[in-house]
Structure 1
Amino acid sequence: MKWPLSKKMEISLLTCVIHKSEQITKYCEDHSQLCCSKCVELNHRLCLQVTPLPHAARRKSTDFKNLSVSTENILSQMKQCQTYQEDRMMSLKVSYKEHERLIVDGLRVNIVSYLRECETSTVNTTHEHMQYTVIDMREKIKYLLAAFEKGTIKEKKEELNLKQAPLKVVKNSCIRLHYELFHLHVAIPKVLGKPELSFIASKKCLENIQQSDIFIKENFSNHVFTVNGKSVHNVKMPSDSDTCIIEAVCALPNGQVLVFDSNNINVKLLNQQYRVVSHLDVSDGLIWDMCVWDMCVCDMCLITPTEVAVAMHDKVQFITVSQSQLTKGRKLKLQPYCTAIAHNQGDLYICSRTALYKFTLSGELVCRLYKDSSADFTVYKCAVSPTGDRLYIITSWDQNKLLTLARDGTLLATYSDPALGYPWSLHVTPAGQVLVCGCRPHTVLQVGWEGKSKLATLATREGGVRSPWSVCYSSTTSSIIVGQKWDDTILVYRVE
């Protein structure tokens, strides 16, 4: 930090970001961009305020103290983002190592089974009449090992590399952006006596901060949302017999939204203006009295960009969206009672009061991931991180807890907060941000991806939310959608 500005850094500052062989000579006031002669010729010929660099440097002043603080904050967040991607890669690697171990154990069982078969067949048999010779056994075992190495292990390693690839891209981008911004941060104090270099350094630093901020928002799950507007939309239909209870919300990539009204037992499709354009009855003839309602907790999750799964009691109904119409698809009957459903990479996660199960999309039980029989509703609702390396569970209404599990069901963290009173719903965004509804205190919280701390309170009773019953984030519209209990409206919070 105390060394003078190097010639290499000076050349780097003066070099145009777009045209690497050109030096910066102008500044476009219309676009707030540093320009070389080629930039002016190609992109700024029609701009009215393209001024020579010395003139722009004299006219513009920069608050270097605030710029330094902003830079340090972004550098810190970028490091956290890099660490987060590395943790996700390590989690995947550990998970696949465990999977490899299970495969090896399976191979060992097959070899032992084969050897026992050979032993049984050769008992009381003379050497010349043996069904299995030593050579045969050796060849068979070599075949099993070769098939194992070339097939299963190779396939799993390729699958691991495929899943790690996008994480590596993000991690490398973190390293690159951090490197570029850090060197600008170091350079700025060294050029304060040189107006032109100081002006260039500050502008490049601001551009990098903006670029890094956008990158962090898109890729880092601990980016804290900021609410900058709210709208209210009525979703009650004339055919609805009772006040709505919006039990679940799913945002589609095209900007449409699906809401599950558990009190009228239907799924409603909302257009981009949040008006109901289609609906589908999912009651299957069920008489929906208060006794049944108390027993049947419902949920819904996105399967594909045009398909959702609705979980209700002991069944899962798949629904397809096509040309603004809803159509029932296949149905699964599940043995455990369903209180929640989540989907990630072809796996269904089902909460069943006191346990969390993993199923295939065809309804086959894979395993039980977690169980807690200490109370009636210890595993109530669940959500999954985008890469599947974190599972989140909210517990019974009186415990006010959020649990974070590893991919294999190992408990990683427990977070308890009075603001989570009567927790009813949670959601993980495509970038990994964790949103949780506290129904009793009327709050929507953002919790860190580690599941250890609250990052922000995004909605409160004072801000208009009443008994938040469901929550979802739409990347398309950059908004958080909140469904409420005993309320015909949904709340849409615009966020940054």
Structure 2
Amino acid sequence: MLTFPIFISENMASASSISNDVTVCSICFEKFRTPRILPCTHVFCHGCISSYIVTSCQSKVAPVGFSCPLCRKFVPSASAENNPEKWTDSLPECKILDKLNKQETNLCAACLRENEEEEATDICITCEESICGNCAKYHKRSLASKNHVIVSLTEPSAVLKAVICASLKNESCPVHPDKDIEIHCNDHMTVCCSLCVSTDHRKCADVMTIQSMAEKTKSEGNVKKLLRKMSNFEQELLLIKKKQEDNITALDTASDDIRSETCQLRKEINEHLDKLERKHLNEIAELTKGGRDVLSSTIDSLRDRIQFSRHCIESMQDIEGKSDACFLKDYHRVRESFEMLEGRTRNLEYHELKLKSRISKELRQIKNLKKFSENQVTHSKMNFVTRKSVDEVGFTMLCELNYPDYNICSGTFLSDDKIVLANFNSQKEGLLFATLKQNTWGIEKKIESSDFIFDVLPFGKYLYVTDRTTKSIIVLSNDTFTTCKELKIQDGLTPYGMSQRGKFLYVACRIAILKLDFEGEVIHKYPLEKPCFYMTVTKEGHIVYTYTDTHEVTCIDDIGGSLWKYTSSQLKSPHSVDRDSLDNLYVSGFTSNNVHILSCSGSLIRVIEDIPCPAFMKVNQQGTLCCVCSNWKNIRVYELK
């Protein structure tokens, strides 16, 4: 539905007076000056929309478009120019509106040519002029003008709608606007008029009429091919966008972890310093107390001797007035007492105590710290490279691995240089890890298991493994490969192939497909008509699985409703069905010796022939490598170019 591009503000009294004026720009609220039309049909002055585009693109890296100021709908750049200042020049010009805007009077243009003045009541979009009621009536009666578009001026929105439709419905030549498009030049892949053919394209050998070229383009499926290419391009952009969003989450998580670690370290340092301070002060208090006790004991001893000495002095002073006998008796008594005091004092020790504290060197260095830690963000830049469509890509074999004693049912890429393979053989190792080293793939690690392992699925920090022996899903750490937990399958069902989408696991259990949470609880059960061992889930949540016995590939929605089925005389005994990051499906025809590549809607894109007994085909996240297992024992790794 076309909208009328006039912004009405409750706080702007003038807005109501211009809301019915189709010649007013909704950015500057003035008469249009060289009006330009956006794909969303909103119209703005050339200068207004140009300024808006430049401003809105300032913060973007390599901008390719902008949002409409009114409806916020995205408007792709219509120009090959990387300079947003020139994008407005490529927008369609609303010449009719510009002509109306420059009209000085509201009089009938046809009558004015006859020197008559009649007020205009309508507008002929085709003639691009205002007309009165009589002229409009005769306009419709004339064979030459009966098909012209005439709109009443009393309906501003209808006028604007008609003006915009007429401006956008443009079949004129890009070089010669007054000429209609008639020819398509295949040499330059462009449309042109008859004048162009006689001038700029006169030496071109391959030209066709527009009708012939349009019919050829439709019949050759070029539209579908281009749509698929654009869809794949969009999926690649979505993948990179998801990585960037995940990177933001990882940055925020790392920031939170560092903040938490910093606060915890500060807390531990504070607690440790508080503990050291208490211990330090306690030691000081104990040393001070010990020193005080020693000095106080000495002071007490000296105090007693001072009093003893003073007593001797007083006694000696008292004997002077006594008789000679008493004098000598007291003299010798005082002398003997003093000599005894001297004897006991001669070996008396007194002390000089000094309390010192040497702050540890490490503690003093804390004050010299300039940073709590060294912080940095490692920044790697990667160029966006559009991968080829699967119907064009070539397969170059890098290596071939043969394991005659194994029975490899499934596998997947852990990274671009590592593959994990599931061995369905109770007498041998359960999981095999192949790694690329110096352009050669080889088994790096083997995980022993006496159980029948059918499929392996990496997710997050874990590997999910379907174990037919225990009828459960074993969850392993992808670092140590130790068992973290075991998810028992309910109702005694046996798990085979797996897929993952969001927070759910999907497991093929022969007679049913189970949708589980990561604790093993059944969210939904999809009963099956025939035995099924392999399945996958698309980005839309559609479940795709194979019936080997009836040579079918079936797709159902999240509630079990049938969406599509794929059969082909070239597809026999389909086994594994896998998907790449662009949601292309790879169906292994075990007895037809080929792999059918389907779109997520079930249409055939390509058949890769001459692959002997393919059990499964896996493509890495980047779409640069694929791994094909033939006859359960042979692994081929291909580079996709």
Higher strand share: 1
Answering whether residue 487 of structure 2 is matched by residue 487 of structure 1, we say no
Kindly tell me: are residues 431 and 14 of structure 1, through their superposed partners in 2, closer, same or farther at Cα, counting changes over 3 Å? closer
- Whether contact under 8 Å (1:256, 1:274) holds in the other structure is no
- Whether contact under 8 Å (1:253, 1:476) holds in the other structure is no
Q: Aligned residue for 2:497?
A: 340
Cα drift, residue 62 of structure 1? 8.7
Amino acid at match of 1:268: L
Answering whether residue 601 of structure 2 is matched by residue 450 of structure 1, we say yes
- Whether contact under 8 Å (1:268, 1:276) holds in the other structure is no
Amino acid at match of 2:494: Y
- Which of the numbers 294, 297, 300 marks the counterpart of 2:456? 300
- Which of the numbers 229, 249, 257 marks the counterpart of 2:419? 257
- Which of the numbers 465, 483, 493 marks the counterpart of 1:310? 465
Cα drift, residue 338 of structure 1? 1.3
Kindly tell me: are residues 63 and 473 of structure 1, through their superposed partners in 2, closer, same or farther at Cα, counting changes over 3 Å? farther
Alignment of 1:50-199 (within 5 A): 76-77=224-225, 79=227
Cα drift, residue 233 of structure 1? 2.8
Cα drift, residue 334 of structure 1? 1.3
Kindly tell me: are residues 328 and 74 of structure 1, through their superposed partners in 2, closer, same or farther at Cα, counting changes over 3 Å? farther
d(CA) in 2 for partners of 1:14, 1:467? 50
Kindly tell me: are residues 81 and 441 of structure 1, through their superposed partners in 2, closer, same or farther at Cα, counting changes over 3 Å? closer
Amino acid at match of 1:430: S
Cα drift, residue 21 of structure 1? 4.2
Alignment of 1:17-36 (within 5 A): 17-21=81-85
Over residues 433-472 of structure 1, what are the superposed CA-to-partner deviations in whole Å (9 max), with x where a residue is unaligned?
A: 0110011111111012112x322112x22xxx22111111
Amino acid at match of 2:458: L
SS in 2 for 1:383: strand
Answering whether residue 445 of structure 2 is matched by residue 279 of structure 1, we say yes
d(CA) in 2 for partners of 1:84, 1:428? 13
Answering whether residue 533 of structure 2 is matched by residue 380 of structure 1, we say yes
SS in 2 for 1:402: strand
d(CA) in 2 for partners of 1:13, 1:412? 37
d(CA) in 2 for partners of 1:412, 1:74? 25
Amino acid at match of 1:417: S
d(CA) in 2 for partners of 1:257, 1:431? 20
SS in 1 for 2:412: strand
Cα drift, residue 429 of structure 1? 1.2
Cα RMSD after superposing both structures:
4.5
Answering whether residue 395 of structure 2 is matched by residue 229 of structure 1, we say yes
d(CA) in 2 for partners of 1:412, 1:15? 40
d(CA) in 1 for partners of 2:546, 2:463? 22
- Which of the numbers 601, 616, 628 marks the counterpart of 1:470? 616
- Whether contact under 8 Å (2:409, 2:632) holds in the other structure is no
SS in 2 for 1:420: coil
- Whether contact under 8 Å (1:338, 1:350) holds in the other structure is yes
Cα drift, residue 77 of structure 1? 4.6
SS in 1 for 2:535: strand
Over residues 224-275 of structure 1, what are the superposed CA-to-partner deviations in whole Å (9 max), with x where a residue is unaligned?
A: 3334232153445xxx7x5333311212345422222324442222224462
- Which of the numbers 513, 519, 524 marks the counterpart of 1:362? 519
- Whether contact under 8 Å (1:244, 1:488) holds in the other structure is no
- Whether contact under 8 Å (2:454, 2:497) holds in the other structure is yes
Q: Aligned residue for 1:351?
A: 508
Kindly tell me: are residues 274 and 260 of structure 1, through their superposed partners in 2, closer, same or farther at Cα, counting changes over 3 Å? farther
Kindly tell me: are residues 445 and 16 of structure 1, through their superposed partners in 2, closer, same or farther at Cα, counting changes over 3 Å? closer
Answering whether residue 556 of structure 2 is matched by residue 392 of structure 1, we say no
Amino acid at match of 1:386: K
Cα drift, residue 410 of structure 1? 0.9
Kindly tell me: are residues 17 and 357 of structure 1, through their superposed partners in 2, closer, same or farther at Cα, counting changes over 3 Å? same
Cα drift, residue 387 of structure 1? 3.5
d(CA) in 2 for partners of 1:256, 1:62? 52
- Whether contact under 8 Å (1:318, 1:329) holds in the other structure is yes
Kindly tell me: are residues 353 and 62 of structure 1, through their superposed partners in 2, closer, same or farther at Cα, counting changes over 3 Å? farther
Over residues 1-21 of structure 1, what are the superposed CA-to-partner deviations in whole Å (9 max), with x where a residue is unaligned?
A: xxxxx9999x99997722344
Q: Aligned residue for 2:124?
A: none
d(CA) in 2 for partners of 1:391, 1:411? 10
Structure-1-length-normalised TM-score: 0.51
d(CA) in 2 for partners of 1:321, 1:353? 27
d(CA) in 1 for partners of 2:577, 2:513? 15
d(CA) in 1 for partners of 2:78, 2:464? 56
Gaps of 5+ in 2: 1-33, 38-45, 47-75, 88-199, 236-240, 243-382
Amino acid at match of 1:387: E
- Whether contact under 8 Å (1:257, 1:274) holds in the other structure is no
Structure-2-length-normalised TM-score: 0.40
d(CA) in 2 for partners of 1:255, 1:387? 28
Over residues 174-195 of structure 1, what are the superposed CA-to-partner deviations in whole Å (9 max), with x where a residue is unaligned?
A: xxxxxxxxxxxxxxxxxxxxxx
- Whether contact under 8 Å (2:422, 2:431) holds in the other structure is yes
- Whether contact under 8 Å (1:232, 1:489) holds in the other structure is no
- Whether contact under 8 Å (1:472, 1:481) holds in the other structure is yes
Q: Aligned residue for 1:195?
A: none
- Whether contact under 8 Å (1:301, 1:309) holds in the other structure is yes
Cα drift, residue 328 of structure 1? 4.0
Gaps of 5+ in 1: 1-5, 24-57, 89-164, 167-210, 287-295
d(CA) in 2 for partners of 1:252, 1:63? 52
d(CA) in 2 for partners of 1:213, 1:448? 21
Alignment of 1:414-425 (within 5 A): 414-425=565-576
Amino acid at match of 1:384: V
- Whether contact under 8 Å (1:267, 1:282) holds in the other structure is yes
Amino acid at match of 1:17: E
Kindly tell me: are residues 85 and 15 of structure 1, through their superposed partners in 2, closer, same or farther at Cα, counting changes over 3 Å? closer
SS in 1 for 2:472: strand
Give the structure with higher Rg (CA).
2
Q: Aligned residue for 2:357?
A: none
Amino acid at match of 1:393: Y
Kindly tell me: are residues 85 and 478 of structure 1, through their superposed partners in 2, closer, same or farther at Cα, counting changes over 3 Å? closer
Cα drift, residue 85 of structure 1? 12
d(CA) in 2 for partners of 1:398, 1:328? 35
SS in 2 for 1:275: strand
- Whether contact under 8 Å (2:615, 2:632) holds in the other structure is no
Report percent identity of matched pairs: 13
Answering whether residue 268 of structure 2 is matched by residue 268 of structure 1, we say no
Cα drift, residue 494 of structure 1? 1.6
Over residues 162-214 of structure 1, what are the superposed CA-to-partner deviations in whole Å (9 max), with x where a residue is unaligned?
A: xxx98xxxxxxxxxxxxxxxxxxxxxxxxxxxxxxxxxxxxxxxxxxxx9993
